[in-house]
Structure 1
């Protein structure tokens, strides 16, 4: 695949790594302290995000889990809520015939009105803008989950992994409902998913549930993983996601960057193994799996999906092909 520019040089990469490591450490500290509040606009600006407009469509499982990563009373393993504008006559409504793109955010992404943490819905809106900018203008919704809820001693990381795993069952149910035109959200148009960071765990578990619980072959047309914060061997032969990838999706592409600072410094230190989003797969891949090296375009963990930068031009091109 041709590129217009070379990978960042070592000095630039090291400086980017230092900046993002400090940013990640600050974010983790704030999350550990449980600091929330302020307006959504202030939070978005504090993290350099573009604010999602009122009514932006969301599939939500927010507040389904407590700080111990347990499902709360009143919610079920498959429950979810639809929020925002979905009707065709609303500002962000679904246009019949559009494909559905589901954005799945990563660790520590907060709900609305959080301060000093990225907001998952805003990141979804930025992904939407980046796809449109690159000629892929379909209906995008943000899957918003309790990525900032855990309070385990590792700043919530272990709890967040458990919550991500549990959300796979919920997202699988939504996908099944979307594909069934007899349900309230049923449509049947193609489903594509873009997942960032720990969102890759949500998607891996979604594919597991689509396979094991629903027998839903090719339920998702295409999956794009950005900076996947899961083990590099997890999609490979004899590991947990190999079979579900082959069965439940038509194609899965892992967009990885050697210069993903957070995966290099934070993930590998915590997990003592390499991340899929930094080096690509560590083993024999499913036939419908592809690694795409976007190191030329991505020099930090939060850059993948940003408009005017990152790798969304490549993702959009792949979606259109």
Structure 2
């Protein structure tokens, strides 16, 4: 089986506290597969959530690819693999610490993914780049857009964004700061697939780990024009179940 192309920052951050361990930007695997992407009409990058080691990350990319292929999407699908398998995340007594470390790592990976997008667009300026994020992957995407917004040349550099079970807060699409970033950097649309039945996001809200997750009840306030949301009913929070209720792309 062909290896799954992925942008990796594995080992760049401390999985216990989120501290930076490496100043490297990213690692491409396998490198030759990325060379083949140059000149593509478009690519989609899948960003996984918390509690995923490298094998888990690959599984999520494959899930995304298989679903998008079923929906008739024929363009390359790659992924970001990052240190989201924080230490103690599966144990109740360490849940808060592990989630905080995961959020820190997700925020820092925004720069890594942003640098990749800039690097790739230099070689392939006409390729549309779409981003898909599940759960904590929504934070990586938000931080990526925030990083890209620092340079005016990145206006509309991301074609579209798709969020599933997003753990970022529900005020972001309508906030003055982030609303402008989303509007400026995303060319076409930001689609939020939200589920009031999502048990993990409901728990995160109840325990005050995330105040008003965007993926639970959708956005509050007056979201920007490029934002839209779809109510879905996945069996649970797992990406496999969100993928199964996706019925069109892009």
Given that 1:59 and 1:142 are in contact with CA atoms closer than 8 Å, whether structure 2 keeps it comes out as: yes
1:310 aligns with 2:245: yes
Residue matched to 2:235: 299
Task: Determine which structure has more spread, i.e. the larger CA radius of gyration.
Answer: 1
Residues 148-297 of structure 1 aligned to structure 2 (within 5 Å): 148-150=85-87, 153=94, 154-181=96-123, 186=124, 188-213=126-151, 215-238=153-176, 240-250=177-187, 251-271=189-209, 273-295=211-233
Please list the CA deviations of residues 181-222 of structure 1 after superposition, one character each: whole Å capped at 9, or x if unmatched.
2xxxx4531000110001000000111110024641011000
Given that 2:168 and 2:210 are in contact with CA atoms closer than 8 Å, whether structure 1 keeps it comes out as: no
Q: Secondary structure at the match of 1:235?
A: helix
Alignment coverage as a number of residue pairs? 242
Question: What runs of 5+ residues in structure 1 fail to find an aligned partner?
Answer: 1-52, 113-118
Residue matched to 1:80: 26
CA distance in 1, matches of 2:70, 2:215: 24
Given that 1:171 and 1:206 are in contact with CA atoms closer than 8 Å, whether structure 2 keeps it comes out as: yes
Q: Residue 272 and residue 168 in structure 1: after superposition, are their counterparts in 2 closer, same or farther (change >3 A)?
A: closer
For the aligned residue pairs, the C-alpha RMSD in angstroms reads 2.2
Which residue of 52, 57, 64 corresponds with 1:109?
A: 52
CA distance in 2, matches of 1:187, 1:170: 19
Please list the CA deviations of residues 54-94 of structure 1 after superposition, one character each: whole Å capped at 9, or x if unmatched.
51101111110013211114x24xx00100264489xxx54
Question: What runs of 5+ residues in structure 2 fail to find an aligned partner?
Answer: none
Q: Residue 95 and residue 205 in structure 1: after superposition, are their counterparts in 2 closer, same or farther (change >3 A)?
A: closer
Deviation at 1:291, TM superposition (A): 1.2
Which residue of 65, 78, 96 corresponds with 1:141?
A: 78
Residue matched to 1:20: none
CA distance in 1, matches of 2:180, 2:151: 14
Deviation at 1:269, TM superposition (A): 2.1
CA distance in 1, matches of 2:107, 2:27: 18
Which residue of 4, 9, 13 corresponds with 1:65?
A: 13
Please list the CA deviations of residues 266-303 of structure 1 after superposition, one character each: whole Å capped at 9, or x if unmatched.
344242622100111111111111111123xx231114
Q: Which one has the bigger helix percentage?
A: 2
CA distance in 1, matches of 2:151, 2:65: 30
Q: Residue 95 and residue 166 in structure 1: after superposition, are their counterparts in 2 closer, same or farther (change >3 A)?
A: closer
The TM-score with structure 2 as length reference comes to 0.88
CA distance in 2, matches of 1:276, 1:86: 37
Residue matched to 1:21: none
CA distance in 2, matches of 1:101, 1:88: 13
Q: Which one has the bigger strand percentage?
A: 2
Q: Secondary structure at the match of 1:179?
A: helix
CA distance in 1, matches of 2:38, 2:72: 17
Deviation at 1:128, TM superposition (A): 0.3
CA distance in 2, matches of 1:195, 1:248: 16
